[in-house]
Amino acid sequence: MIDNNNNNSNSNSNSIAFIIGIIVCCLFVGMLCLILFKPSNKINKNQTYSDKIIERKHSSNNINSLNIEDKIPVFKPGQKFNFKITRDIIFSGNLYDVTLTIKLPSDVPQRQKILSLSVNPTPKEIVTKNGEKYALIYIPRPSNQVTVSISGEAMVRTYNLNIAQKINKNIDTLLTDDDISYYLRPEQNIETNSKLIKSVARKKIPTATNKIDTVKNIFDFVVNYMTYDFRETGKDKGAVASVQSGRGVCEEFADLFVALCRAKGIPARVVEGFDLPFIDDRRDKFGGHAWAEVYFPEYGWVTFDPTNNLSDKIKEHAKDLSISPYDLLSYLNKYKSYLIIDAKNVISKYDGEGNIISKNLYITYY
């Protein structure tokens, strides 16, 4: 005798197993599609883009009429203020006749005036090289640690694109052809000759009908593409690594911005120093800051600072307001100014055996 009930049971079990198998296969295919086609901000080398010269889309809104909280500086442009930069120099081993060479802030035409300056420990000598001042601090027999401080009074001015267009003249010396070539060249961390940088500049950055709008397009790309990541502090990765990771801090934002400007044939450079605080910021800060300057024959060197540590919120806010990241950040930072000094690097010369480390770079404004 054949047991029909048993056959029906087996048939039902097979049907259920078949259905479960179909569901599992669908889930697997779906997950595979998500992995393979997940949106990413990474550069797709195989994707084709138009490299036509196009007009940049400008916001139809008057940004001054938008409901955006204004940021007021602690020190207004042109106002005198005091500063104190300190850093710890750590010595190890058996060292003697140590000479530390530290760059000092100096006058920059139309941007900053150093009214007074003092260095502790007292320098053995102050030297000037290529228009820059350096303090030479001599330490015959260093202990474990020495704190070096640079104190002074300064006055700085803002020179962003809005101000440059109002002044409407070149406030700097006109660049020669050799100067222009110099600020278009590849260098450490600004790998303009990299195939990846050239590809990004060609495929991702629309070339506008004028250089200013092309620079704004580069600015928007950097802000939209890069994510501010404090864990990247001190790595100083350069432009290529910034494209590859999409993450960084001010050095990476500035290096990538400058590399892309140069790849587009626009002279640009990275500038280092300290940004002055706004009213809601602390008046003391760890570490320095890096930003960029772009050269326009009609204006001279103009400040652009694509770095922001709230990048995701900036992107979302700009999108909500139907304006570009450049328009939003240039409005928020319209009063932003800087104390220009490459204070990160300390050159050391010594006899004996051991090591010297510079750490805890710190500035106080008052």
115 and 176 in a single domain? The answer is no
Vertex 106: Cα angle to 102 and 112 (nearest 5)? 140
- Contact of 125 with 119, CB cutoff 8 Å: no
CATH number at residue 126: 2.60.40
68 and 217 in a single domain? The answer is yes
**Predicted pLDDT at 33:** 44
CATH number at residue 217: 3.10.620.30
194 and 57 in a single domain? The answer is yes
Q: What is the CA radius of gyration of the chain?
A: 27
Position 28 in a domain: no
231 and 355 in a single domain? The answer is no
User: What parts of the chain have a pLDDT lower than 50?
Assistant: 1-12, 29, 32-41, 45-50
Range of the structural domain that residue 85 is part of: 80-155+343-365
126 and 188 in a single domain? The answer is no
90 and 102 in a single domain? The answer is yes
226 and 275 in a single domain? The answer is yes
Closest CA to 223 of 113, 325, 96: 325
Rounded CA separation 306/300 (Å): 19
243 and 314 in a single domain? The answer is yes
319 and 352 in a single domain? The answer is no
**Predicted pLDDT at 344:** 77
**Predicted pLDDT at 70:** 72
Position 97 in a domain: yes
Which of the 8 DSSP states describes residue 45?
Answer: T
Parallel, antiparallel or unpaired: strands 80-104 and 145-156 = antiparallel
Interval 20-38: pLDDT, tens = 556 555 555 455 444 344 3
Q: What is the pTM of this model?
A: 0.82
173 and 309 in a single domain? The answer is yes
107 and 220 in a single domain? The answer is no
Q: Copy the structure tokens of residue 241.
A: 């690594």
**Predicted pLDDT at 57:** 74
97 and 220 in a single domain? The answer is no
* 250-263 helix and 211-225 helix, angle to the nearest 10 degrees: 140
**Predicted pLDDT at 280:** 80
Interval 196-247: pLDDT, tens = 999 999 999 999 989 999 999 999 999 999 999 988 888 889 999 999 999 9
**Predicted pLDDT at 2:** 33
Position 3 in a domain: no
**Predicted pLDDT at 157:** 92
Amino acid identity at 188? Q
Rounded CA separation 205/199 (Å): 10
Residues β-bridged to residue 128: 133
Position 216 in a domain: yes
Position 324 in a domain: yes
**Predicted pLDDT at 17:** 55
Parallel, antiparallel or unpaired: strands 338-340 and 268-275 = antiparallel
Position 239 in a domain: yes
Q: How many domains would you assign to the chain?
A: 2
**Predicted pLDDT at 131:** 81
For the chain, what is the mean pLDDT? 85
